[in-house]
Amino acid sequence: MDRETLVSKVDPRIFGIGDATDLPVSKSGSAAHFEAKVVAERIAATVRDEAIDGKNARYDGHVMCFLETGYEQASQLVFDYHHPPDPPKPSRVYHYEKIAFNQAYWYLVPKGLV
Ligand SMILES: Cc1cc2nc3c(=O)[nH]c(=O)nc-3n(C[C@H](O)[C@H](O)[C@H](O)COP(=O)(O)OP(=O)(O)OC[C@H]3O[C@@H](n4cnc5c(N)ncnc54)[C@H](O)[C@@H]3O)c2cc1C
């Protein structure tokens, strides 16, 4: 896939997302989530025959996930194509943020609020 447009280099009618891509990011639900906005925008624009220039027109490799480190502590991995992960010191704050995120997942993520 083109790493920004998520369009297949073999056939421009094919879009790629998630674990099925060859993008230089982690195979993760987080990556698939952020890629989905780009693919959705591109498919919608293509169907409507509109220009593809909205805020989600390109994927920058953004991934965000929590990393449990034990003892009720966690860190956070945030990175993209241009910024490698620089995880903060593990703390309970991230651990409880992760628990809160898990609880709120179905209210926030499928609605596109996050
Ligand atoms: C144990 C484990 C823990 C993980 N933890 C995390 C985590 O904490 N955070 C995170 O971000 N990511 C995590 N991941 C990774 C995350 O689950 C995947 O990256 C994500 O689910 C990929 O989404 P996807 O839609 O690309 O593929 P999938 O979720 O694998 O979806 C593909 C779907 O296609 C279906 N399918 C396959 N072949 C066919 C076919 N021929 N016809 C029709 N349907 C088909 C499959 O049944 C499946 O439902 C974890 C993965 C594992 C295995």
* pTM of the complete model: 0.91
**What residues are in contact with ligand 1 under a 6 Å CB criterion?**
18-20, 27-30, 32, 65
pLDDT at position 71: 96
Given a cut of 90, is residue 109 above it in pLDDT?
no
Question: To test the ligand 1 pocket, which listed residue (1, 17, 27) has its Cβ within 8 A of the most ligand atoms?
Answer: 27
- Which residues lie closer than 8 Å to 81 by C-beta, 6 or more apart? 3, 24, 25, 60, 61
pLDDT tens track for 49-107 = 999 887 889 999 999 999 999 999 999 999 999 999 999 999 999 999 999 999 999 99
For the chain, the straight-line distance linking the first and the last C-alpha, in angstroms and rounded, comes to 25
Given a cut of 90, is residue 42 above it in pLDDT?
yes
Given a cut of 90, is residue 21 above it in pLDDT?
yes
Under DSSP, the state recorded for 87 is P
Strand pairing of 63-70 and 73-79? antiparallel
Element (H, E) at 63: strand 63-70
